[in-house]
Structure 1
């Protein structure tokens, strides 16, 4: 059993994990099958049925499996071996699935980078995982991902494998390597690490979440059961499938492993989504409320005859609260039933049921998908709270992870003595048992489904040579849910940065676009608490109220949501 050791803590030792996996298999909580085994069941039963469609190709289950093996052979030819970790940074596509499963065939572990990550994140994750390779595309939406990966390769001993036509110096074309022999490959087991997710969480850099085959199959299938996925479903994947939510809750895996069909949409733009809705019989879509709200706004401005073609039978919403107003608009426009959910790449996943009344589906995040999940709400002193009381949500269950890779101190803080994982999310459990997420225990900005950590953005902005002090916080935004606002003071005699110049500075530092402040405000001085800390509550109130924050503000630039 080649479990990747996430940390040197008592909870995360290999023998304990192996014992837990064996117990879950024996009790029937886990199937004695890997994600590949479960895909092969569908290949045998539905081989000639279309499995995956993107803008470039269509593959049946049998064709997808052959392409996966072809990719696996080329990975061997590139020198990738069982147990090695490889960073995978690719947009939604059939090629993405070939690489994802191809790594699993040979026992390599894909670390799923977001397509929005940049050099800084790639370098950080490559270092803490000890990755031996980066698999990426040549270019996507104007970003030269191959060149970016090559910059990482210049600093670390990793090879760059490119899926695409243009391969820069220092990289190799994945499918130009001489295919290796799959006959000698043993393949993974239910207790092996299938993949690694990334979590923004409450720290400044991505944390690595190893997920075992058995545990990840468990949550994908349980999510699919809750959402009533069947082989007749066609799932339109609009969010990056390197996120846990659109990958396995129920996502691509939950649908494929139940014999359904997956459409890989490159973006979540309404133009692309509307095209798929008009041309394919889509039955299931997952989105975040900010994206769904943008679709609703676009649809409301379209002619009625076009709107009639944009039917979404089941719309699953997560990552932020929906609310009655938005839910009612979505139902009216798209004729959908809404399922609302909550989940973490680390573990707990909750959904409402398709059969729930609107009051539950629109205002709660449902209940855990496994009967084996345990959820508690704690006050700051660690006392268990009762129904209707708000506190921190802690959880444990069969598919909860065993710790972040290379972060023993963090793991010790995240897990208590009973094995409960402290999520950092603020919630309550209603009298009917439904979970309601009310916010974060610690500060965090949910920008269109991406977690932005104010402290990280503050450190990035503070590196600008003209910036003296900086405070970053979220502000309401009709399109993204929350936008990022940075308020700065400058050194005397220095030039005041604008949002455009700050964006250029951060981009040059290799920062992902979603971390660039949407609004930049320059002030003479910061309001402070009596202990001398910047008072963000007052600052945010003054910015939102249009008042001047401790002096006249200048250099205000309108946010650019299309960056």
Structure 2
């Protein structure tokens, strides 16, 4: 696997370790230290389950040993496709202890995306819920096991059907550890003894801990390899910027496989601070408001569209939000008016977060003046974050001028997984990641996001690749040409507009038919177009490419 991803050059590794950004710890070891520190304190609340730090550590041990009895080993890739439930956390830590690498898929992903991830990663196992929001993931698993030869195991949280129940894996692991048959994963130990097994090989802190999913800005989504060292720093430093402490209760309202609710600071940052994580089955106001009141939630994170929904709902529901001290908003630019409205409506401070699963995070600080919080998307997390704001030729623009953001640092990757050709374009020769985001940098160091270079639609915080959707549209027999563009939308930021040209004499599909076609092809519902426009021809540039700037101008009229 070492040849499939790009490490930091040795000089940077030495610098980041010497400066304290990187520690020699692995994600699998963290729950062990947390259990010693916090013991019987509540780590996770998931539905009617309340899991202590000690129980979290033990469950990770049992699952890791059970996975090992199935033949999973260090370096194996595993698709983790779970909604916000306790198993997402326990399996994540169990895989980390084995040295296996979870690929964190989102609940909304369907066959097109999951098959792509499985093939790209040569995944050997697929971890799913039985059902979620009316969708049966076991049916999808059946299709995948026939299509992807590397998949040997399907593990199910809930009713397993023809596959293997996660509960059975954990029980087998616990039994094997009691009998002393499983030397176990790195750091694993028998019940009651909280010291690592002497014979278990320790995982490499510099190795890949997990893979996140890119926003799919060009073609199909890429896999983002995050190491133990850089991701532990990501969570630890984000927790400090959010002021997290043991008394805090974090509500994971967004899908926890996202980088934002997982580690910015999210679940990992909260557990690292000794707080409690509450997993919400939905981010809807009725579900979230009830949990905030019942669990005395202090911190949570939303995308702007949900922040608007919560703000509006609070006006007529009058929920008990007295415990909430901080709402983080990220995933897309937060409107200044809404940023100023939130504190009065929800009774909490706002922290803008602008970042990417590839690394760089920017936060407004808790002591920033209100105007900076309302009008900027924050400043970099780490002093070691290096930023360039450049023009189309790669030359740095004048201070406060708009340019594309390039970055490198102790938690920003040096390349996507198994994507050499794409990496050659997306990363500079000296390691800067070309983000595709257009920003202005203020004298204070804060960034103002002005747009993007990439052909991607930001719908409610979900990054939708126009190119990927266009490919799927062109598979329809009544579509000869297709272009996908984002249209400004007050509710979700940008709505998805599909513009199509039918073949001569053909009857174009309606929006409902088109959405059905895309669902049949296995596309996630979050990527379905909101609007359909049929034209006789698409506008072209002088070199014959589709002129999306002109197309947007026509649609905006």
TM-score, scaled to structure 2: 0.91
Partner of 1:196 in structure 2? 211
CA separation in 1, counterparts of 2:396 and 2:381? 22
Deviations 1:468-509 (A, max 9, x none): 222211112232111101122222333331111111111111
Rounded to whole Å, the distance in 2 between the matches of 1:532 and 1:277 is 54
SS at match of 1:467: coil
The answer to whether the Cα contact below 8 Å between 2:241 and 2:363 also exists between their aligned partners in 1 is: yes
The answer as to 2:105 corresponding to 1:93 is: no
1:399 aligns with 2:411: yes
Q: Does 1:453 align with 2:468?
A: no
1:324 CA displacement: 2.0
State the partner residue of 1:278. Answer: 293
Q: Evaluate the alpha carbon distance shift between residue 458 and residue 166 of structure 1 in structure 2; reply closer, same or farther with a 3 A threshold.
A: same
Distance 1:210 1:185 in 2: 24
- Name stretches of at least 5 consecutive residues in structure 1 with no aligned partner: 546-563
Please report how far the alpha carbon of residue 329 of structure 1 lies from its aligned counterpart in structure 2 after TM superposition: 2.0
Residue 232 (structure 2) aligned to one of 203, 206, 217: 217
CA distance in 2, matches of 1:367, 1:265: 29
Q: Distance in 1 between matches of 2:321 and 2:360?
A: 35
Q: Deviations over 1:144-166 (max 9, x none)?
A: 11221221111122023233333
User: Within 2, Cα distance between the matches of 1:530 and 1:413?
Assistant: 24
Aligned residue pairs, count? 533
- Aligned residue number for residue 555 of structure 2: 543
Aligned to 1:373: 385
Cα deviations by residue, 1:53-89 (Å, 9 ceiling, x for unpaired): 0113110111111111111122112221111111100
| Match status 1:337 vs 2:330 | no
Q: How does 1:378-389 map to 2 (within 5 A)?
A: 378-389=390-401
Q: Please say if 1:490 is aligned against 2:482.
A: no
What SS does the aligned partner of 1:35 have? Answer: coil
Match of 2:69 in 1: 77
Root-mean-square deviation (CA), in Å?
A: 1.9
Distance 1:290 1:165 in 2: 31
**For 1:26 and 1:492, how far apart are their aligned partners in 2?**
66
Instruction: Give, in whole Å, the separation in 1 of the partners of 2:200 and 2:284.
Output: 41
The corresponding residue for 2:142 is 150
Q: Give runs of aligned pairs for residues 165-204 of structure 1, distance below 5 A.
A: 165-169=158-162, 171-177=163-169, 178-179=172-173, 180=176, 181=182, 182=184, 185-204=200-219
User: Contact (CA 8 Å) 1:74, 1:175: kept in 2 or not?
Assistant: no
The SS at the match of 2:421 is: helix
Question: How far is the alpha carbon of 1:386 from its aligned partner?
Answer: 2.8
CA distance in 1, matches of 2:413, 2:545: 36
Match of 1:161 among 154, 169, 188: 154
Q: Secondary structure at the match of 1:200?
A: coil
SS class of match (1:301): helix
Change (3 A) 1:444 1:269: same
Q: Work out whether residues 147 and 168 of structure 1, in 8 Å CA contact, stay in contact via their aligned partners in 2.
A: no
1:5 lines up with 2:3 in the alignment: yes
1:286 touches 1:317 (CA, 8 Å); kept in 2?
A: yes
Contact 1:274/1:310 (<8 A) preserved: no
Question: Residue 110 in 1 paired to residue 110 in 2?
Answer: no
Residue 531 of structure 1, CA deviation: 4.7
Over 3 Å counting, the alpha-carbon distance change for 1:522 and 1:413 in structure 2 is closer
| Equivalent pair of 2:321/2:347 in contact (CA under 8 Å) | no
Shift of the 241–430 alpha-carbon distance from structure 1 to 2, 3 Å rule, reads same
User: What's 1:561 paired with?
Assistant: none
Deviations 1:169-216 (CA, angstroms, capped at 9, x unpaired) = 3x3223324325125532423212111111024211111111111111
1:106 Cα offset (Å): 1.1
Q: Which moved more, 1:154-163 or 1:255-264?
A: 154-163
Distance 1:465 1:406 in 2: 33
Structure 1 residue 424 and structure 2 residue 436: aligned? yes
Q: Which residue of 1 aligns with 2:334?
A: 322
- SS of residue matched to 2:471: helix
Q: Name 1:292's counterpart in structure 2.
A: 307
Question: How far does residue 415 in structure 1 lie from its aligned partner after superposition?
Answer: 2.2
TM, length-normalised to structure 1: 0.90
